[in-house]
Amino acid sequence: MSSYKYVSKFWKERTTEFKKLRISRLVKWRREPSIVRLDHSTRIDRARALGYRRKKGFILARVRVPRGGRRKSRPVQGRRSKRMGVNRITPKKSRQWIAEERCARKFPNLEVLNSYPVLSDGLHRWFEVILVDPEAPEIQSDPKINWICNKGHKGRVFRGKTSAGQRSRGLHKKGKGSEHTRPSYDR
């Protein structure tokens, strides 16, 4: 087995070593800001499977997103409680897509390639987002990734073009029952 296979096995099996590591990381990550730029990946097997390469032009960031429903304020004027619209208000976007968008706003000169979940607790979820610099000469000369340098891919995360965005838009479903999902997305 390759080293990446061992890493993915470690993340899937959830041994006692993994649980100790998880707790120590959560204690540290809760004190950090919501978006942190990283030097190296926490899950290198998942990052490489989604297109990350350890070279100039690729950047990793860890994003923290709160869990639970949307926090809606109670209306000032009177209504019956059924029509308050406070509880059970959920976004149409997934947490992963929201994390990608927040990361893209933090780094406006970079494009989001993909992302993957890292850890979660009762209050937050953490995702690692793979960002690419389309102006980097190393990216422009690489035939595997230079498609992201085209103008059509500018702001792709805000148009739901990443994998998490396509999943939220229903584009991962095919065939009968998914006739009306393509191509639009209604916010």
Tally of structural domains, the chain: 1
| The three-state (H, E, C) secondary structure of the chain, written as one string | CCHHHHHHHHHHHCCHHHHHHHHHHHHHHHHCCCEEEECCCCCHHHHHHCCCCCCCCEEEEEEEEECCCCCCCCCCCCCCHHHCCCCCCCCCCCHHHHHHHHHHHHCCCCEEEEEEEEEECCCEEEEEEEEECCCCHHHHCCCCCHHHHCHHHCCHHHHCCCHHHHHHCCCCCCCCCCCCCCCCCCC
Does residue 76 sit within a domain?
no
CA-based nearest residue to 165, from 108, 67, 95 = 95
Does residue 185 sit within a domain?
no
pLDDT averaged per 10 residues, the chain (length 187): 86 88 94 96 92 94 92 87 84 93 96 96 96 95 94 93 92 85 66
Does residue 75 sit within a domain?
no
Q: What is the CATH number of the domain that holds 46?
A: 3.40.1120.10
Query: What per-residue confidence (pLDDT) applies to 113?
Result: 96
Does residue 175 sit within a domain?
no
Domain range for 128 is 3-69+82-168
Does residue 25 sit within a domain?
yes
Query: What per-residue confidence (pLDDT) applies to 109?
Result: 95
Report how far residue 36's alpha carbon sits from residue 48's, in angstroms, rounded to the nearest whole number.
Answer: 19
Does residue 93 sit within a domain?
yes
Query: What per-residue confidence (pLDDT) applies to 85?
Result: 85
Burial 90-122 (b: 16+ CB within 10 A, else e): eeebebbbbbbbbbbebbeebbbbbbbebbbee
Does residue 176 sit within a domain?
no
Query: What per-residue confidence (pLDDT) applies to 185?
Result: 61
Does residue 44 sit within a domain?
yes
Query: pTM here?
Result: 0.89
Cβ neighbours of 43 (radius 10 Å): 20
